[in-house]
Amino acid sequence: MYLATEKDGIVEVPKKKRLKALFCKHRNVVCGEQCSKNGMRRISGEDAYAVCADCGTILDERNRNY
């Protein structure tokens, strides 16, 4: 999964690391809208995510359909 962020451009979401997620304090958060590798986004809605860049845990997920 890729996220289109405002300041970093398109960022790949890291794979979830279960053991690291148990002890992670989630201080390094990446927020953005889900997109493909080349930046294409959904036409019929919006998927916004907040993901920890260290352990890959999805902290917040918002989906909106038009």
Which residues of 1-66 form beta strands (DSSP E)?
Answer: 2-5, 9-12, 29-35, 45-52, 58-65
The rounded percent of the chain whose pLDDT value lies above 70 is: 100
Strands 29-35 and 58-65: unpaired
Residues 6+ apart with CB under 8 A from 10: 2, 3, 4, 35, 37, 39
**What pLDDT does residue 9 have?**
82
pTM of the model: 0.77
Instruction: Provide the H-helix boundaries in 1-66.
Output: 18-23
Question: For the chain, what is the mean pLDDT?
Answer: 85
